[in-house]
Amino acid sequence: MTDFDALYNTYAPDVFRFAMYLSGNRADAEDITSETFVRAWTAPGPIAMATVKGYLLTIARNLFLHGLRKTSRNVPLDDRMRDSHPGPETEAEMKADYRAIVAELQQLPEIDRAALLMSAFEDMTYDEISRALGISVPAIKMKIHRSRLKLSRIMEAK
């Protein structure tokens, strides 16, 4: 390669046209053409001048095929596949609701709060809660029922 400018000026239109026919996209053809000449410029060995056009077109074709392999892995997302996580707005609302519930839980008497939490979050039976808190089963049922009603009224008001 004695004169790279002459090589570029001579073969760039041919490489571009070839890349354009392969890709069907002007921007891709320009990228392939530029990358072809970068690779030719940085090639470790000399280019045999009798086969330079074939050499450049081979590089261009390989670059096109490499691009196809890359883009074939990118498939459009199916619109039916939505993110199951709530969006930021929903998440903020949920956090606000959570804070309101926690604040209202703090307003309940400690024994009512303990009974409700043991039932709702610890999946304890009324008998287990009764033994743990030292009060009768009917009293536990009443405390849990009243606590749930209070919390539901608060959530309905929001």
- 144 falls within a domain: yes
Range of lowest pLDDT (74-83, 92-101, 106-115): 74-83
In this structure, the answer to whether residues 15 and 66 fall within a common structural domain is yes
Output the domain CATH number for residue 146.
1.10.10.10
pLDDT recorded at residue 48: 66
Mean pLDDT to the nearest integer, 52-62: 88
Tell me the pLDDT tens digit for each residue of 107-124.
888 888 888 888 888 888
Q: Token match 């990118």: residue?
A: 74
Amino acid sitting at position 132: A
CATH number at residue 64: 1.10.1740
3-state secondary structure of 55: helix
Name residue, tokens 């610890």: 122
How far apart are alpha carbons 150 and 140 in whole angstroms?
15
pTM of the model: 0.45
* Number of helices and strands in the chain (H, E): 7, 0
Domain membership flag for residue 81 = no
Residues 140 and 115 sit within 8 Å (Cβ to Cβ): yes
Is the distance from CB of 18 to CB of 60 less than 8 angstroms? Answer: yes
Q: How many domains does the chain have?
A: 2
Task: Quote the domain boundaries for residue 137.
Answer: 105-157
The amino acid at 53:
K
Residue spans of beta strands (DSSP E) within the chain: none
Domain shared by 59 and 109, yes or no? no
Q: How far apart are CA 50 and CA 80, in angstroms?
A: 56
